[in-house]
Amino acid sequence: MELTDSFGRTINYLRLSVTDRCNMRCVYCMPAEGVALCKHGDVLSYEELLLIAEAAVANGIEKIRITGGEPLVRRGIVPFLEKLAAIPGLRQLVLTTNALNLGEMAADLRRAGVQRLNISLDSLQPETFAVITRGASLSRVLEGIAAAEKAGFRVKINMVAMAGINDGEILDFVALTLARGVSVRFIEYMPAIREDGWEKRVIAGDEILKRVSSRYGFTAEPRDGLAGPASLYRITGASGTFGIITPVTGHFCAECNRIRVTSSGKVRGCLFADESLDLRPLLAAGDREGVAAALRSVVDCKPRNHSLTSTDGGYTPFTMAEIGG
């Protein structure tokens, strides 16, 4: 079966959040005072999350990315991942993490069947990293990355480029791809919390490429059908790749292949959509066919493009931990 939306896009990628809890407080993700968390009873059980995943794969989803909050803070995550990996028809099981807990968990994640890790890392400088994350330990994250590589993962690093904060490190991040086989993704700043003057923080994708080209030659790389929204490149002779994700200056909506489910059971066709469909009544009844139908209906109603840059604000502010980063 293939899921196709009303604009002819094939939807084969589900971002599934397992928690809204996070052990970082990144400045672009949530306000300084934090956010109101879901009650434990409002967060889906692993049984409910598994039902969603099985219904999604049966209807054409081939890739599932586990997100949060920070997924590795939820107890019992590894046995759950083992069950996901065993779903017939699922081609890719990947996970996004901030790597604070990765040092002690990387080998278990690999054995559970996770195929790839995306690691959020916005600075290689301890002081800058502490500012962005409001106090997290860079050394602990780097230890987690080392553990992941030792466990056999090809690591992908996501760096949100922010003018005046970490944009001076763009070439340092690109250099990680030269010998180690690390993949780096530069993401344009997009403030879910919608603070005033956020546009001044945006480093356009074209500007990032210009800075890279000042030191390195590179060529474009092909993407596979399950890939995310990055445009991919490889520096001449490098083991790894780098990519640019441009939600602000270069909408990739025409190629969007994903839907997302929050940890409280809301399914969305777009990160910046105000509309969502609540799966909890169907899950409470164990209605697998109803869940599958609900996922199809969200795909049918998936918008043509997001409203991030519309003049009226375009969307209701939220935190990434609420929706699933």
Phi, psi of 219 (to 5 degrees): -130, 155
Which tens digits make up the pLDDT trace of 156-194?
999 999 999 999 999 999 999 999 889 999 999 986 666
Query: Which amino acid is residue 70, in one-letter code?
Result: E
In the predicted model, residues of the chain with pLDDT beneath 50 are 310-313, 315, 317
Q: What is the pLDDT of residue 108?
A: 98
Q: What is the pLDDT of residue 311?
A: 46
Annotated domain spans of the chain = 13-323
Q: What is the pLDDT of residue 31?
A: 73
Phi, psi of 278 (to 5 degrees): -85, 120
- Identify the burial level of 33 via C-beta atoms within 10 angstroms of its C-beta, where 0-12 means exposed, 13-18 middle and 19 or more buried: exposed
d(C-alpha 15, C-alpha 33), whole Å: 27
Q: What is the pLDDT of residue 165?
A: 96
d(C-alpha 55, C-alpha 38), whole Å: 24
Question: Could you tell me the sign of the dihedral formed by the alpha carbons of 267, 272, 273, 274, in that order?
Answer: positive
Q: What is the pLDDT of residue 111?
A: 98
Copy the structure tokens of residue 82.
């083992």
| Cβ proximity of 123 and 166 under 8 Å | yes
Q: What is the pLDDT of residue 281?
A: 97
* Alpha-carbon radius of gyration of the chain: 19
d(C-alpha 297, C-alpha 269), whole Å: 10
Residue 265 DSSP symbol: S
* Architecture of the domain delimited by 13-323: Alpha-Beta Barrel (3.20)
Q: Write down the pTM of the prediction.
A: 0.91
Q: What is the pLDDT of residue 312?
A: 46
Beta strands in 165-286 (DSSP E): 183-188, 218-221, 231-235, 242-245, 258-261, 266-268, 277-278
d(C-alpha 22, C-alpha 30), whole Å: 10
Coil vs helix vs strand at 305 = coil
Q: What is the pLDDT of residue 319?
A: 55
Q: What is the pLDDT of residue 223?
A: 83
Copy the structure tokens of residue 148.
């992941």
